[in-house]
């Protein structure tokens, strides 16, 4: 069935059979606050919402296949990630607010931190600030079946705009060729790119009801001398693009700042893609 096919099939069967829970056994003992290979004090989560797990999976976490999580959320099938090698409670993935531990009043602010090494950034500098310029830039990119992730547009006082977006690293060379071919017709001053970037993301349903998450994230990165190149937000996610050399430093700093470290200071050793 291919990688992830077993997860999706299991969830589909659980939904069809109205199962109380679908248990997925894998090479890690649950979902962690981030990759323990980068942050050894990462903590296994007792529970996480479907929304949070979908965001983490789409942003780089490889514990579960995205389609399996989508199916589980759509048909309200609780998922539990368990280890194939040792006993334990694993991580329960369920609806927001469901099965909250006794005495718990609200969802945690941040569920986890994800990172993606596979992004590249392209910039079209100094194009006229006129209607349709964004479509003129991204239209040929879309026609080439290249998926665009983050987009930032900056407008200057001279009637010009700079347009920056990210694509998968595998699509970088094709996207750059397209932009260079379009540069003259777009009236661009310059086209350039950068493949030495990563995307860091905070995910948590608690963001909906708490202010100051973005400012704490930015303050934390600034304190480590990490410059932010791009920012993207949603209801339960904040993503930033930074230089790839800051992957470990940035992830560890944010993990500490949002108090995600294991409370007992334990370190985790994992194999596979936890």
77: its two tokens: 């099938």
| Positions in the chain whose pLDDT score sits under 70 | 1-4, 97-108, 263-274
Closest CA to 112 of 190, 34, 212: 34
Predicted TM-score of the model (pTM): 0.85
Instruction: Say which residues have a Cβ less than 8 Å from residue 12's Cβ, sequence separation at least 6.
Output: 71
Last residue of a domain, one of 162, 178, 194: 194
> What's the maximum distance between 2 C-alpha atoms anywhere in the chain?
64
What is the structure's pLDDT at 271?
46
Q: What is the pLDDT of residues 91-132, one digit of tens each?
A: 999 987 655 554 444 556 899 999 999 999 999 999 998 889
Residues 180 and 235 in one domain: no
Closest CA to 122 of 55, 185, 182, 56: 182
Alpha helices in the chain (DSSP H): 5-16, 50-58, 66-74, 133-143, 172-186, 213-223, 247-257
d(CA 156, CA 136): 19
Number of domains the chain is built from: 3
Burial of 195 (0-12, 13-18, 19+ CB in 10 A): middle
Closest CA to 127 of 191, 172, 173, 192: 191
> Is position 114 within any domain?
no
Q: What separation in angstroms does the CA of 93 have from each of 26, 51, 63, 75, 226?
A: 15, 9, 12, 13, 33
What is the structure's pLDDT at 6?
83
Domain encompassing residue 24: 5-97
Residues 132 and 162 in one domain: yes
Residue 34 Ramachandran class (φ > 0 left, ψ -120 to 50 alpha, else beta): beta
Residues 82 and 32 in one domain: yes
Residues 157 and 128 in one domain: yes
Tell how many helices (H) and how many strands (E) occur in the chain.
7, 12
Which CATH number characterizes residue 81's domain? 3.40.1160.10
What is the structure's pLDDT at 267?
53
Burial of 218 (0-12, 13-18, 19+ CB in 10 A): middle
Residues 146 and 222 in one domain: no
255: its two tokens: 């993990």
DSSP 123-158: EEEEEE--TTHHHHHHHHHHHTTPPEEEEEEEE-TT
Place of tokens 């996610």: 237
Which CATH number characterizes residue 183's domain? 3.30.2130.10
């Amino acid at each position: 069935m291919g990688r992830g096919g077993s997860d999706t099939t299991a969830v589909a069967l659980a939904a069809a059979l109205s199962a109380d829970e679908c248990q997925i056994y894998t090479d890690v003992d649950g979902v962690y606050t981030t990759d323990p290979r980068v942050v050894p004090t990462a903590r296994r989560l007792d529970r996480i919402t479907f929304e949070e797990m979908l965001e983490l999976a789409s942003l780089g976490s490889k514990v579960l296949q995205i389609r399996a999580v989508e199916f589980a959320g759509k048909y309200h099938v609780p998922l539990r990630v368990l280890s194939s090698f040792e006993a334990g409670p694993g991580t329960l993935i369920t609806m927001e607010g469901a099965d909250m531990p006794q005495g718990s009043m609200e969802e945690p602010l941040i569920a986890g931190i994800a990172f993606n090494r596979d992004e590249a950034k392209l910039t079209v500098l100094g194009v006229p600030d006129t209607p349709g310029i964004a479509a003129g830039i991204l239209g040929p990119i879309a026609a080439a079946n290249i998926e665009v992730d983050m987009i930032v547009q900056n407008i200057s006082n001279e009637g010009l705009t700079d347009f920056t977006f990210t694509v998968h690293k595998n699509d970088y060379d094709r996207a750059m060729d397209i932009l260079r071919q379009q540069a003259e017709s777009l009236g661009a001053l310059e086209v350039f790119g950068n493949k030495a970037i990563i995307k860091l993301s905070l995910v948590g349903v608690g963001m909906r009801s708490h202010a100051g998450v973005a400012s704490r994230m930015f303050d934390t990165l600034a304190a480590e001398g990490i410059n932010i190149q791009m920012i993207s937000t949603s209801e339960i996610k904040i993503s930033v693009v930074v230089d790839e050399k800051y992957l470990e430093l940035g992830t560890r700093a944010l993990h500490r700042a949002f108090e995600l470290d294991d409370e007992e200071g334990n370190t985790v050793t994992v194999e596979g893609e936890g």
